[in-house]
């Protein structure tokens, strides 16, 4: 097992190096970071040259890449460099944003995964039952909606709900503009109340999409296993259906779901762009939109790199879990 | 007209008579204070702003001071962009979003009031006096109580630093180490400080008409006063007023601190001399203002102002409707405004502001350069009233098509130079073209000498602009003029400055400091660095150049109107409408409104009141 | 390794025989598939709905001749002369939705075709040739998977060499379609086909063909890919649904199609703030985008079931 893990990690390293070069090429293609600054007013060549020197653009792209890569592995991710954008430390900014986004994403993923697996499994066991049809219909419906529409509609509905809650004297529970800035305080009840109020809408909008995916995968893979020979044998031997499902089928049926979970991470980071924009959270999504708009090269570069690392790490983790769960895969 | 409306002007209601420019503005403190005080009574629109009688010509130099108001506690405010840098003077930092907060923090001899007039800020100044016009000599006397939040006096030294930064001789030799662009400073021949440091006497070598903007927040870029004593402490320069204009190690040291030391936010060096001071800031996300304990004037109403950047207007409106944020200053469109008005418990402020949308013909392209009749035909076939009705009226029901570039309808001296232009008059457009020899082609488009009356409109991808183009297309099609949509995300950054367009649809930000507009309209070789559509008329160049030295305000406005007249005849650009200054608030708060270039929705935050 | 002991018939003869056999067998198989598909009620409903949508989009302009241009009465609620109402600048919303549906479908179909062709060819090459080609293609997919595609497209859009729209913004829907196809949609298909090819290339009939000296292209296109046709069809169907949604996500970040070519995604995005004010401007395009996606997803589900011989009811 250890050997397998080590080998997989070693494969991931060259992949990440190539990814860093590719992302660097993309970032470089965004163009001259000083383009907007130079348009602000007429400047002397000496001014322009000194500004290029300040941001390190007097060096060739390969040199800049090596500069950045050397800094990145040693923890110096450089700062924002566009004039007027200050000199924010890229690493601490990404760290902060990643924290915000992970809170959202983990919440949403756990709920979606549990809900999806439960509904999917039930749908598979009761295939073609009214429940199955309803679940399938619901999943397909959610599948077919653009994420930003879900977010926009949810937000609209949330405010209506608040108006209604206030009318019956329950106060305004749902918050539409991000988490409380000073953190959560007060008694446990109050913390729960304000915490759930801040999270419910963005989490729900991410769940809506992911839930559909997981429930469909769980249903399909459980159907596959239920039809597999060893499960039939177990059934033929007279085991109760519940026992067959839980003991034999569910474990194998989990595998594809785990894989999807890992592969989906990229989708979720992309989805965060939309969710965070609509709900005013300042996470990874908001950060990259801002950085791309301002053409902030090191922010964009390190953002893409850290996302790549997270995604590759999760894929790796999924492979390992996969190997662990599936007795048919031999390690070595 | 609901609401008390007292924010519009002095409660005494007596306009100071036209005294001309040489008016000695040392008026008593008590007479006409409270430019923006007053109590609002809640509900509905306070957009009476459009009815506002512009400050009478020459009514400049009235006094202003902050009113006495009750404490209203903490207020949350959503801004469309967050606070970034304390020193907004450098070209690298300059951003309107910094001015939202800095208006409550930075001392300034002149204060821009709601009617866009410049008033002497009596909280800071004993007097601002024009001592002589030939040569132009202005005397600034600061109040003895005026201090920075560390107790050091505000005064001549701070003015000298701005002078040094904007006018130092190194600029003329090439590099400006201070990276500032304040105008007028290089025309100063002498700046003398009194021994107590509270009086500055400024002598100009050549007259500078926009002198009121100097050292004032309203003129932006380079004019913001900074605590010079902090720079002295940090650089070890014993007296900044002894640093000369010529290149020297001290000058370089001062410049180095000036451009770097006041970036971002750092409570140690970013002092306040206003009613509020910045307590904390997370760059471009949130910033907190609290009352300045050293403030000597009437204390501001909110005990704390909690600002949050909400870039998405819809997000800001929903935060208001959901009662999370009681005051918002978003970029408005009709949808935004309608939602707030339908919400019931909210008050809306909407008024045509300083920013104006217009359509420029590229005068370097033969199609427009050689065919004034085509420019006039386009100006006839587009329907400005219809565009305003559909795209702007939903925000401000009183807005009308715009009639000038350099003076806005809410300012004194405004004249509509485009009456009868852009009324969707198909017959007139066709006649103009046919009289000049254009013939309608088989494709329904006029043509003459191998050229078709067909062109595209370049613009940044903004819904409102795409809709404007569609309305133009629809109303000009029957007139045999084909308009295409060349909207691009990068238009304002790339195609526009490069002059790469047939016609361009975009907005300029106007200002009470009129000299900033001149570069948009004078010929390129006369300093028209922002003259993107290559317009050139020696008469306009001449008139606009004169406005820069005309010290008589009434005569100056007449010069602007003459230049506008010539431009209207040339029809190189069609003014469409003012963008709307917009703010909305919970009905309990009043009088919340919006003003640029200083403050935005926060411009009069010190005077807000709250009903229990 | 392959040792073909049996004498083989003349190649042409064998091909003809196998082709004939395959033909009749295939016909029988397709009939089975069709029968299963028809029994899948949701799938049939999806297909009918999708056909109606195609008709709506492409034949709609013949029946509904209202102009797409601005200038009519603005903000009219649905009913009478304007079944879907009009927007703030007086455009007929039904005409907008018809044209939007057309652009959305055009984009989705182009994406499906391009992504399927690219994915199938690259996946099959990787799976069949293995070695360096496989490594290159697989790593490329890994690379593209490890940065969110919305971000890649956004960065590209900020770049100087973007597929810039022509002066009049004509045909920018095509560049949007190509961006979606090249940066997102082809690699799920490529991965699946690669996996299938890897196992198919070890099958006897492929080994036989190889032993006979058939060229690579012939083996891949004639022997391997026909066995993956079910997967290809299902994947292509799902791609249509995904492309419609992706295009709307691109519109959300201002990278979708531009006027005058309004897709449903652009229409929704332009009107996403109208829910409280002129709600029909949001709901009509929204319903149509959901209908497209829903009908295609149901069709795909039906096809998957119909192709899968193992699909049987677990409990009778």
Give the ipTM of the model, two decimals please: 0.81
How many percent of chain A have pLDDT more than 90?
Answer: 10
CA distances from C138 to A15, B186, B532, C187, C266 (A): 11, 64, 50, 9, 34
Asked whether the beta carbons of residue C164 and residue B488 sit closer than 8 angstroms, the reply is yes
| Interface mutation vs chain B, best among A280, A282, A285, A295, most B CBs within 10 Å | A280
**Does residue A270 have a pLDDT over 90?**
no
Tell me the DSSP string of B472-494: HHHHHGGGT-EEEEEE-TTTTTT
- Residue B469 pLDDT: 94
Write out chain B residues lying below 8 Å of C164, CB-based: 488
CB–CB of A116/A213 below 8 Å?
Answer: yes
pLDDT confidence of residue C205: 85
CA distance C43 to C39: 8
Q: For B501-513, what is each residue's pLDDT tens digit?
A: 999 999 988 888 8
| N-terminal to C-terminal alpha carbon distance within chain C | 47
The pLDDT, as a whole number, for residue A185 is 66
Percent of chain B residues topping a pLDDT of 90: 63
User: Residues 232 to 251 of C: which have CB under 8 A from any A CB?
Assistant: 241, 245, 248-249
Q: In 3D, which of C57, C65, C106 has the Cα closest to residue C82?
A: C65
DSSP string for B226-274 = --HHHHHHHHT-S-GGG--SS--HHHHHHHHHHHHTTSS--TTT----S
8 Å CB contact of A177 and B315: yes
Please report residues of C whose CB lies closer than 8 A to that of B482.
none
- C155–A contact, CB cutoff 8 A: yes
In the 8-state DSSP scheme, what is residue A145? S
Q: Give the 3-state secondary structure of residue A213.
A: helix
Stretch B260-283: mean pLDDT, rounded?
A: 93
pLDDT level of residue B11 (50, 70, 90 thresholds)? very low
Q: Which residues of C touch A15 (CB under 8 A)?
A: 139, 142-143, 146
C-beta atoms of A278 and B312 within 8 A? yes
Q: Do A15 and C290 touch (CB under 8 A)?
A: no
Q: CB-based contact (8 Å) between C285 and chain A? A: no
Look at C89 and B485 and tell me if their CB atoms are within 8 Å: no
d(CA B275, CA B317): 28
**Which chains does chain C touch, 3 or more C-beta pairs < 8 A?**
A, B
For chain A, the chains sharing at least 3 beta-carbon pairs closer than 8 angstroms are: B, C
Given pLDDT bands bounded at 50, 70 and 90, which one contains residue A256? low
Distance (Å, whole) CA B356 – CA B168: 34
Query: How close is the nearest chain B Cα to the Cα of A319, in Å?
Result: 39
Reply yes or no on whether the pLDDT at A265 is more than 90: no
Q: B346-361 and B44-45: which strand pairing?
A: parallel
How many Cβ pairs closer than 8 A exist between chain B and C?
71
**Residue B95: strand, helix, or coil:** coil
| B19-51 pLDDT, tens digit each | 222 223 322 222 333 333 333 333 345 544 445
Q: Is the peptide bond before A80 cis (omega within 30 degrees of 0)?
A: no
Number of Cβ pairs < 8 A linking chain A and chain C: 135
What value does the mean pLDDT take over residues B380-404? 93
List the subunits that have 3+ CB pairs under 8 angstroms with B: A, C
Answer yes or no: are the C-beta atoms of C230 and C36 closer than 8 Å. Answer: no
Per-position pLDDT tens, chain C of length 316: 333 333 333 444 444 444 455 566 667 778 888 888 888 888 899 999 999 999 999 988 888 887 788 778 888 888 888 889 888 888 899 999 999 999 999 999 999 999 999 999 999 888 888 888 888 888 888 888 888 777 887 777 666 444 444 445 556 788 778 888 888 888 888 888 888 888 888 888 888 888 888 888 888 888 888 888 888 888 888 889 888 988 888 888 777 787 777 889 889 988 988 988 899 999 999 999 999 999 998 888 888 878 775 554 433 2
Question: Which residues in chain A touch residue C152, judged by CB atoms under 8 angstroms apart?
Answer: 26
Of B271 and B44, the structure prediction assigns the larger pLDDT to B271
Between the alpha carbon of residue B82 and those of residues A87, B26, B219, B423, the distances in Å are: 16, 37, 20, 40
pLDDT digits (tens, 9 = 90+) for A79-89: 888 877 777 88
Whether residue A257 contacts residue A117, with contact meaning beta carbons closer than 8 Å, is answered with yes
- Cα gap A264→A211, rounded to integer Å: 12
Distances (CA, A) of B312 to B328, B592, C252: 11, 20, 12
> What does the pLDDT look like over B431-473, one tens digit per residue?
999 999 999 999 999 999 889 999 999 998 888 998 999 999 9
Residue B200: predicted pLDDT = 96
CB contacts, 8 Å: A312 with chain C: 142, 146
Q: How would you label A52-80 residue by residue, b for 16+ Cβ within 10 Å and e otherwise?
A: eeebbbeeeeeebbeebbebbeeeebbbb
**Does residue B583 have a pLDDT over 50?**
yes
pLDDT tens-place string over residues A195-229 = 888 888 888 888 887 888 888 888 877 777 777 77
Min Cα distance A184 → chain C (Å) is: 31
Rounded Cα distance between A127 and B2, Å, is: 65
Contact A176 B264 (CB under 8 A): no
Higher pLDDT, A51 or A77: A77
Q: Does A304 touch chain C (CB under 8 A)?
A: yes
Average pLDDT, stretch B220-226? 88
- Specify whether the CB–CB gap between B67 and B36 falls below 8 A: yes
Q: Average pLDDT over chain A, rounded to whole?
A: 81
β-strand pairing of B589-590 with B609-610: antiparallel
Query: Which of A84, A159, A290 is facing B92, going by the closest CB pair?
Result: A84
pLDDT digits (tens, 9 = 90+) for B529-556: 789 999 999 999 999 999 988 888 889 9
């Amino acid at each position: 097992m250890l050997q397998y893990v080590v080998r997989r990690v070693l494969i991931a390293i060259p992949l990440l190096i190539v990814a860093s070069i590719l992302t660097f090429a993309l970032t470089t293609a965004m163009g001259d970071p000083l383009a907007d600054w130079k348009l602000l007013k007429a400047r002397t060549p000496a001014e322009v040259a000194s500004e290029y020197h300040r941001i390190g653009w007097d060096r060739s792209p390969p040199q800049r890449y090596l500069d950045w890569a050397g800094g990145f592995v040693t923890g110096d991710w450089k700062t924002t460099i566009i004039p007027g954008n200050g000199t924010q430390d890229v690493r601490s900014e990404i760290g902060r944003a990643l924290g915000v986004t992970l809170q959202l994403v983990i919440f949403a993923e756990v709920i979606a995964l549990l809900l999806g697996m439960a509904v999917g499994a039930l749908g598979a066991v009761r295939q073609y039952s009214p429940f199955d049809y309803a679940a399938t219909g619901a999943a397909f419906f959610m599948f077919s909606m653009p994420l930003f529409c879900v977010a926009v509609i949810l937000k609209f509905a949330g405010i209506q709900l608040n108006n209604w809650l206030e009318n019956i004297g329950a106060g305004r529970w749902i918050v539409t503009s991000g988490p409380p800035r000073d953190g959560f305080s007060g008694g446990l009840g109050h913390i729960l109340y304000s915490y759930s109020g801040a999270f419910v809408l963005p989490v729900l909008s991410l769940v809506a999409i992911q839930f559909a995916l997981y429930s469909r995968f769980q249903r399909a893979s459980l159907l596959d296993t239920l039809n597999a020979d060893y499960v039939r044998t177990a059934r033929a031997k007279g085991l109760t259906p519940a026992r067959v499902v839980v003991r034999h089928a569910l474990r194998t049926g989990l595998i594809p779901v785990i894989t999807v979970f890992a592969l989906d991470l990229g989708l979720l980071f992309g989805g965060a762009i939309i969710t965070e924009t609509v709900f005013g959270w300042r996470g990874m999504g908001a950060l990259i939109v801002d950085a791309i708009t301002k053409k902030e090269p090191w922010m964009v570069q390190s953002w893409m790199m850290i996302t790549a690392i997270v995604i590759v790490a999760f894929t790796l983790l999924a492979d390992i879990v996969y190997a662990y769960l599936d007795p048919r895969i031999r390690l070595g | 007209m609901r609401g008390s409306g007292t924010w519009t002007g002095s409660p005494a209601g007596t306009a100071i008579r036209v005294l001309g420019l040489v008016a000695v503005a040392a008026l008593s403190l008590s007479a006409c204070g409270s430019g923006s005080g007053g109590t609002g009574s809640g509900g509905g629109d306070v957009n009476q702003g459009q009815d506002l009688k512009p400050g009478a010509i020459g009514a400049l130099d009235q006094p202003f001071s902050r009113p006495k108001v009750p404490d209203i506690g903490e207020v949350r405010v959503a801004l469309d962009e967050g606070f970034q840098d304390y020193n907004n003077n450098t070209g690298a930092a300059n951003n309107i979003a910094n001015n939202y907060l800095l208006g409550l923090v930075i001392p300034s001899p002149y204060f821009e009031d709601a009617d866009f007039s410049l008033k002497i800020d009596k909280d800071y100044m004993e007097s601002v006096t024009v001592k002589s016009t030939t040569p132009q000599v202005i005397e600034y006397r600061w109040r003895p109580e005026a201090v920075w939040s560390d107790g050091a006096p505000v005064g001549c030294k701070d003015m000298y630093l701005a002078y040094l930064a904007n006018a130092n001789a190194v600029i003329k030799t090439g590099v400006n180490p201070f990276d500032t662009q304040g105008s007028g400073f290089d025309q100063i021949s002498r700046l003398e400080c009194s021994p107590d440091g509270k009086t500055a006497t400024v002598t100009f070598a050549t007259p500078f008409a926009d002198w009121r903007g100097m050292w004032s927040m309203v003129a932006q870029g380079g004019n913001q006063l900074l605590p010079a004593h902090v720079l002295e402490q940090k650089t070890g320069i014993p007296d900044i007023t002894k640093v000369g204009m010529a290149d020297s190690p001290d000058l370089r040291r001062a410049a180095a601190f000036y451009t770097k030391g006041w970036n971002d936010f750092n409570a140690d060096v970013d002092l306040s001399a206003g009613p509020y001071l910045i307590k904390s800031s997370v760059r471009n996300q949130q910033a907190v203002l609290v009352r300045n304990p050293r403030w000597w004037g009437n204390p501001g109403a909110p005990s704390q102002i909690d600002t949050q950047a909400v870039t998405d207007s819809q997000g800001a409106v929903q935060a208001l409707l959901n009662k999370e944020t009681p005051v918002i200053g978003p970029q408005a469109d009709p949808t935004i405004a309608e939602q707030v008005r339908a919400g019931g418990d909210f008050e809306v402020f909407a008024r045509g502001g300083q920013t104006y949308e217009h359509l420029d013909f590229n005068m370097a392209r033969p199609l427009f350069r050689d065919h004034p009749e085509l420019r006039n035909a386009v100006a006839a076939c587009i329907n400005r009233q219809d565009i305003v009705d559909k795209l702007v009226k939903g925000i401000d029901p009183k807005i009308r098509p715009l009639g000038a570039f350099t003076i806005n309808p809410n300012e004194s001296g405004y004249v509509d130079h485009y009456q009868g232009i852009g009324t969707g008059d198909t017959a007139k457009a066709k006649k103009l073209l046919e009289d000049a020899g254009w013939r309608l082609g088989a494709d329904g488009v006029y043509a003459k000498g191998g050229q078709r009356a067909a062109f595209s409109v370049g613009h940044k991808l903004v819904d409102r602009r795409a809709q404007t183009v569609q309305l133009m297309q629809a109303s000009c099609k029957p007139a045999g003029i084909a308009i295409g949509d060349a909207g691009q995300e990068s238009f304002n950054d790339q195609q526009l400055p490069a002059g790469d367009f047939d016609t361009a649809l975009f907005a300029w930000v106007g200002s009470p400091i009129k000299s900033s507009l001149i570069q948009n309209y004078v010929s390129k070789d006369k300093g028209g660095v922002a003259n993107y559509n290559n317009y050139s008329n020696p008469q306009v160049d001449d008139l606009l150049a004169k406005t820069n030295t005309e010290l008589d305000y009434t005569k100056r406005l007449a010069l602007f109107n003459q230049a506008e007249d010539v431009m209207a005849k040339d029809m190189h650009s069609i003014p469409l409408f003012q963008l709307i200054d917009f703010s909305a608030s919970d009905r309990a708060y009043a009088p919340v409104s919006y003003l640029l270039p200083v403050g935005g929705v926060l411009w009069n935050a010190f005077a807000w009141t709250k009903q229990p | 390794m392959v040792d073909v002991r049996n004498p083989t018939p003349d190649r042409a003869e064998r091909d003809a025989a196998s082709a004939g056999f395959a033909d009749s067998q295939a016909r029988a198989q397709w009939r089975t598939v069709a029968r299963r598909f028809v029994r899948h009620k949701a799938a049939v409903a999806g297909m009918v709905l999708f056909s109606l949508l195609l008709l709506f989009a492409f034949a709609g302009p013949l029946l509904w001749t209202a102009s797409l241009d601005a200038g009519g009465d603005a903000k009219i609620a649905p009913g009478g002369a304007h079944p879907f109402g009009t927007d703030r600048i007086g455009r007929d919303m039904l005409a907008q939705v018809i044209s939007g549906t057309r652009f959305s479908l055009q984009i989705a179909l182009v994406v499906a075709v391009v992504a399927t062709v690219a994915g199938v060819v690259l996946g099959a090459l990787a799976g069949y040739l293995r070695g360096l080609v496989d490594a290159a293609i697989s790593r490329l997919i890994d690379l593209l998977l490890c940065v969110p595609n919305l971000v890649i497209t956004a960065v590209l859009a900020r770049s100087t060499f973007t597929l810039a729209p022509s002066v009049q913004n004509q045909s920018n829907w095509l560049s949007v379609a190509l961006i979606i196809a090249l940066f997102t949609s082809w690699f799920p298909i490529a991965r699946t086909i690669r996996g299938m090819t890897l196992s198919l290339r070890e099958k006897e009939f492929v080994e036989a063909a190889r032993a006979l000296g058939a060229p690579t292209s012939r083996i891949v296109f004639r022997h391997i890919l026909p066995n993956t046709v079910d997967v290809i069809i299902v994947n292509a169907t799902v791609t249509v649904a995904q492309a419609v949604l992706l295009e709307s996500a691109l519109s959300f970040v201002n990278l979708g199609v531009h006027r005058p070519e309004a897709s449903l995604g652009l229409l929704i995005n332009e009107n996403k703030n109208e829910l409280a004010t002129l709600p029909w401007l949001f709901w009509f395009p929204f319903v149509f985008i959901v209908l497209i996606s829903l009908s295609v997803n149901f069709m795909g589900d039906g096809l998957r079931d119909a192709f899968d011989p193992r699909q049987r009811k677990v409990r009778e």
